[in-house]
Amino acid sequence: MLKRSMIKIALPVVASALVLSACSSDDGDDGKTYTIGFQAGLSGENAQLGINEYNGAKLAVDQANASGKLPFKLKLEKSDDEASESKSPAAAQKLIDNSKVLAVVGPAFSGPTKASGKLYAAAKLATVSPSATNPALTDPANGFTSLLRGVPNDFAQGGGMATYYAQKLKLKKVLVVDDKSEYGVGLGGVAATELKKAGVEVVTESVPKGTPDYTSAATKVKNAGVDGMVYAGYYQDAAPFAKKLKEQGVSIPIISGDGTNDPKFIELAGDASNNWYLTCPCTDANVEAATKQFTADYTKAFNTAPSTYSAESFDLTNMVIEQIKGLDAAGTKITRELMLSKLKTAEYKGLTKTFKFDEKGEFAGAGIYLYQVKSGKIEYEGNIEQLAKS
């Protein structure tokens, strides 16, 4: 009886505390708070890629709130899809069910983007992805009417790989390996097609992500009689594959995409990662003059340097914030549908590039960049098309 009485007395106190806490954390000076959603894989395999983007988005929101220039507060609501297609719908639904979320930065990965595309479309909730590159995502037949891609797709990335291999390295026969993921199949397919167009003989192979032992795959590469390889997959699998390739004595040029382009690849693969080429429709925020201050701010905030898509996520979050600022200043009631409409036609000059979208939601621009692992570090080389012609 004593315990029951104590609970009855304590509950109203706790409830009052919760109400006070919610008011103090959510309300701006005039009581307005606008919420931006974020979806990516923040745990599980390849989580570092999602964390890079979350940190970029968080920095944008934190800086906007700290600027003292907004007559409202911003909130970033994250949802972890674990980079999983099966878990993406639930992660998306979490943001959709939060009626305060006006737009979403993400999803980060192509598979989860495909798995949640129709849910976001039905909710008329804009998703601005910094990194979902599978070309098929913006096909109108999918009905992903709320998807806006903030990055060149894999037609550009796969084409850049092919151009560099054919024109710069002058390779004659290339093995293209995909990891059977939405991203890997898309990138690998484009690379194979573009290599063939360039007159390069192509052999293809699929090695599912999560393969427990890459010995057999490495042996096939060694015996394939090729003078180059493309790996279309993520760093979590590229690393053990690289180790087995090194064990087998494979020394041909190997190129992989943005899914591998992260320091985690080197951490997991060790010196087996050396000399791998890596591409990305993103520049290196650590070396570009336009992102110098961003890099300093990011490093101070998170005690680590920005990595793949950190700066692009920062830019796209600021693009969303700019639309909110404009609508709020006009005294317009901001709805999801209105935000989607504004973002579809907006043009935003960010630190990394100018962002705008075509009628399908495709990024209206190009630019693929080459990196190479040298002595345990990912070194930025420059624009891949220019390098191929030099």
Which pLDDT band holds residue 273 (cuts at 50, 70, 90)? very high
Cα(69)–Cα(80) distance, rounded to whole angstroms?
Answer: 30
Q: Looking at the structure, do residues 199 and 230 belong to the same domain, yes or no?
A: yes
Cα(185)–Cα(181) distance, rounded to whole angstroms?
Answer: 6
Q: What pLDDT does 24 receive? A: 32
Q: What pLDDT does 31 receive? A: 75
Q: Looking at the structure, do residues 148 and 180 belong to the same domain, yes or no?
A: no
Q: Looking at the structure, do residues 379 and 230 belong to the same domain, yes or no?
A: yes
Average pLDDT over residues 6-28: 35
Q: Looking at the structure, do residues 204 and 276 belong to the same domain, yes or no?
A: yes
Beta bridge partners, 203, equal 175
43 CB neighbour count, 10 Å cutoff:
11
Average pLDDT over residues 356-382: 95
Burial label, 276 (beta-carbon count in 10 A; 0-12, 13-18, 19+): buried
Q: What pLDDT does 204 receive? A: 98
Q: Looking at the structure, do residues 381 and 348 belong to the same domain, yes or no?
A: no
Q: How many domains does the chain have?
A: 2
Residue 12 included in any domain: no
Q: What is the CATH number of the domain that holds 263?
A: 3.40.50.2300
Instruction: Quick: pLDDT tens for 145-169.
Output: 999 999 999 999 999 999 999 999 9
Q: Determine contact, residues 252/229, Cβ cutoff 8 Å.
A: yes
Q: What pLDDT does 366 receive? A: 85
Q: Looking at the structure, do residues 251 and 315 belong to the same domain, yes or no?
A: no
Amino acid letter for position 182: E
Largest separation between any pair of C-alpha atoms in the chain = 85
Among 141-145, 149-153, 183-187, 363-367, the least confident range: 363-367
Residue 17 included in any domain: no
Residue 113 included in any domain: yes
Question: Residue 272: is its pLDDT beyond 70?
Answer: yes
Cα(179)–Cα(87) distance, rounded to whole angstroms?
Answer: 19
Residue 7 included in any domain: no
The set of residues, in sequence order, having a beta carbon less than 8 Å from that of 371 and lying 6+ positions away, is: 261, 277, 278, 279, 280, 284, 378, 379, 380, 381
Q: What pLDDT does 365 receive? A: 86
Phi, psi for residue 133 in degrees, rounded to 5? -105, -5
Among 14-23, 47-56, 117-126, 201-210, the least confident range: 14-23
Q: What pLDDT does 21 receive? A: 31
The fraction of the chain above a pLDDT of 70, given in percent, is 92
Nearest to 167 by CA among 381, 380, 387, 379: 387
Q: What pLDDT does 20 receive? A: 31
Q: Looking at the structure, do residues 112 and 142 belong to the same domain, yes or no?
A: yes
Which pLDDT band holds residue 30 (cuts at 50, 70, 90)? low
Instruction: Quick: pLDDT tens for 85-127.
Output: 999 999 999 999 999 999 999 999 999 999 999 999 999 999 9
Length of the chain: 390
The whole domain housing 268 covers 154-280+368-389
Q: Looking at the structure, do residues 376 and 259 belong to the same domain, yes or no?
A: yes
- HEC string of 32-74 equals CEEEEEEEECCCCCCHHHHHHHHHHHHHHHHHHHHCCCCCCEE
Residue 11 included in any domain: no
What mean pLDDT is reported for the chain? 92
Phi, psi for residue 152 in degrees, rounded to 5? -60, 140
Put simply, whether the predicted model's pTM sits higher than 0.85 gets the answer: yes
Average pLDDT over residues 218-222: 98
Q: Looking at the structure, do residues 255 and 299 belong to the same domain, yes or no?
A: no
Q: What pLDDT does 1 receive? A: 33
Q: Looking at the structure, do residues 109 and 121 belong to the same domain, yes or no?
A: yes
Q: Looking at the structure, do residues 189 and 127 belong to the same domain, yes or no?
A: no
Q: What pLDDT does 27 receive? A: 46
Q: Looking at the structure, do residues 196 and 274 belong to the same domain, yes or no?
A: yes
Helix (H) or strand (E) holding 231, with range, is strand 228-232
Residue 36 included in any domain: yes
Residue 26 included in any domain: no
Residue 266 included in any domain: yes
